[in-house]
Chain A
């Protein structure tokens, strides 16, 4: 199987740990991973901001770059959701990492060891757009040493929403404050999710408040 790695522009530039960990996990399971160097952005930023022509042009570019792979795997449900809508020709072969591992490869135990108290935030697009279901939770439960604690009001949005966080900063911050409160209530050392962008929002809040709670992408825990 030829697996193309879609790292996302944010993952490439701001949190490369997540795509690096994705490579580690897939290779540990015996798969070859290809990184198509021409990739940039899938078009989601432009679509969500109301620039449809630009979004469609970027989606066409994306389809051309990833068209030949048996599977395209990405550590971001939000970008996968956007690709499925914007690039319908390749949509059936594009997967978020956790759904690929559990749904396509049938793997739950990836051989990880992470002896920490962790809480899981199910991001909106993983829940309601890509519908990864229980996959991330099942992967986490199979990690040795990991104690998974339930996040209160888990399915509430963290307030990121792309440009929403900048266009509606006060509302976004109010949503973030409630999310941080929920995270702190769990006593977790680390909050994890399948979207780096949401973790950037949650981590930005937890760090500004000097809570000492860290954020890690699910892929990083699975690669540990």
Chain B
């Protein structure tokens, strides 16, 4: 994977992207701040969310078995997948069993994480994304750059051109958002009515009842989970909640943190199969794909508390400038910087824990209080350091460990400083864009000795 600094450099050069990101994240961020300020017990809600999730992680083995039992009792079928390949094969088997070449899909990061669409395509099944933004990306062969607003990096004139090329049936379109939405709606309605198999992720799975919950804005999720006679849901194992009553906490936390709404427009809940109503065949695939490994790390496991609201992206000064693609994963921003290295192994994403100035804005807004800066530091400690850096840092530690060495190093640094405004070595990247502060002519300790003695 391309390193973050390299990918970021390319993204930073795209002024249209910078403009789109700034506008969109500022709007959502301000909306969130307004609706969160309305809730007098917001901090207690966050603490409740954190506590419920921490309990789920501690007793995940029990909750998973309880969930399986509940789903089966309600007439659903439960599958277990160790990784993406197993999950993809299960979904493909269901599609094949019903002899379909198309399935309709609800927006789902989990299925993006495992590359389900590509795996289905390789098996001869076309997965149609029905979320407006996901559809835009799919039609253009692009991929999401934001958890909530996957096409945040695109603007409406780009979307108009794309629709004219793809789904408008030769009609002339303007870049009016309503007209663009109507064009997508017309295309998607036919797909919903024809579909025999629907595929979804889920925001929550309730261990007590076997209920699945999808929270969305557009209504396409409701269509996908009710119209096709067969439904397959891919659920990351960390998405469980113990009881139905726990939803009370999360259905307050999620919409306010995510879209900045008091309540989201559509919340779909279903439990197994109901005769004569909705899908008559229901499968749920419980996906591990690295999550058990994350769970085994006592500090890092809080990344599994994430409810995918994306509040941390919208306040992150790094994300707001680089956009999501720089993070090289379907999980961008601060949460991606701690989740991706853990899911894939730190060695496979070693620049991500450093893709943060540790400003702490993410921790402040997280609805389940994930201490992202602390997890970043925890992961930095696990990355393999390059040799030159390791030698430099060890030497510095030795110098800081002995005040005589430290004072000697101060004098040496000052003596070695030339008049150059651009310095070589590891600090060169500083002086490319910033003037370097010269060493003080007299250190504080020299001044203290001169003035106060001792």
Which residues of A approach B to under 8 Å, CB–CB?
7, 9, 11-16, 19-20, 35, 37-41, 45-52, 54, 57-58, 61, 124-125, 127-129, 155-157, 159-176, 178, 200-201, 203-205, 207-208
A221–B149 CA distance with the chains assembled, in angstroms: 45
Q: At the interface, is chain B mostly helix, strand, loop or mixed?
A: helix
9 nearest A-B pairs in the assembled complex, by CB-CB distance: A161-B357, A204-B434, A50-B380, A169-B429, A128-B360, A16-B444, A124-B359, A54-B397, A157-B359
Q: Is B447 an interface residue (CB 8 A)?
A: yes
Closest-CB distance, B445 to chain A (whole angstroms): 6
Interface hits, B1-18 → A, CB 8 Å: 4-5, 8-9, 12, 18
21 contacts between A and B (CB under 8 A): A9-B400, A12-B410, A13-B444, A14-B439, A20-B447, A40-B406, A54-B397, A58-B401, A124-B359, A128-B361, A157-B357, A159-B317, A160-B357, A165-B357, A165-B430, A167-B354, A168-B5, A178-B321, A203-B437, A207-B435, A208-B435
Closest to A41 in B: B400
Q: Is B385 an interface residue (CB 8 A)?
A: yes
Interface hits, B332-368 → A, CB 8 Å: 351, 353-361, 363-364
A99–B357 CA distance with the chains assembled, in angstroms: 23
Closest-CB distance, B272 to chain A (whole angstroms): 45
**Cross-chain pair count, CB within 8 angstroms:** 174
Which residues of B approach A to under 8 Å, CB–CB?
4-5, 8-9, 12, 18, 317-318, 321-322, 351, 353-361, 363-364, 377, 380-383, 385, 389, 393-394, 396-397, 399-401, 403, 406, 410, 413, 426-427, 429-430, 432-437, 439-440, 442-445, 447-448, 452, 454
User: Contact between B437 and A170 (Cβ–Cβ < 8 Å)?
Assistant: no
* Most A Cβ at <10 Å: residue of B322, B358, B381, B403: B358
User: Contact between A125 and B360 (Cβ–Cβ < 8 Å)?
Assistant: yes
Residues in B with CB closer than 8 Å to A163 are 354
Q: At the interface, is chain A mostly helix, strand, loop or mixed?
A: helix
Closest to B433 in A: A173
* 8 Å CB contact of B442 from A16, A156, A165: A16
Q: A48-B377, A164-B357 are in contact. Are A15 and B437 (CB under 8 A)?
A: yes
